[in-house]
């Protein structure tokens, strides 16, 4: 994956997580517990420090919010990502 696309994808995931946490009144710690992720991992993602967000992690986050992976990605944040 090209660096620009990867950076844009990470930024979109970060913004989507922030949006969903805000909508539900959740902290990142609560999301980490619900998603069965370490708080450190979730904080790295939320702060944009994680350079390799894998699909399994995103699936755990989506499931924690009660969303399918398709629903998680079905937002404007992802529709306008640059193509490789």
Identify whether 60 is part of a domain. yes
Mean pLDDT (whole number) for 4-30 = 87
Domain with residue 54: its CATH number is: 1.10.260.40
Identify whether 84 is part of a domain. no
Which pLDDT does position 60 carry in this prediction? 97
- Count of structural domains within the chain: 1
Domain that holds residue 31: 3-79
pLDDT tier at 1 (50, 70, 90 boundaries)? very low
CA separation for the pair 23, 4 (Å, rounded)? 28
pLDDT digits (tens, 9 = 90+) for 35-57: 999 999 999 888 888 767 889 99
The pTM assigned to this predicted structure is 0.83
CA separation for the pair 43, 29 (Å, rounded)? 8
**In this model, does residue 3 exceed pLDDT 90?**
no
């Amino acid at each position: 994956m090209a660096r620009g696309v990867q950076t844009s994808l990470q930024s979109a995931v970060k913004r989507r997580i922030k949006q969903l946490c805000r909508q539900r009144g959740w902290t990142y710690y609560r999301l980490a517990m619900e998603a069965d992720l370490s708080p450190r991992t979730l904080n790295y993602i939320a702060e944009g420090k994680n350079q390799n967000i894998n699909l399994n992690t995103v699936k755990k986050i989506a499931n924690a919010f009660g969303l399918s992976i398709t629903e998680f990605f079905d937002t404007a944040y992802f529709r306008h990502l640059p193509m490789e």
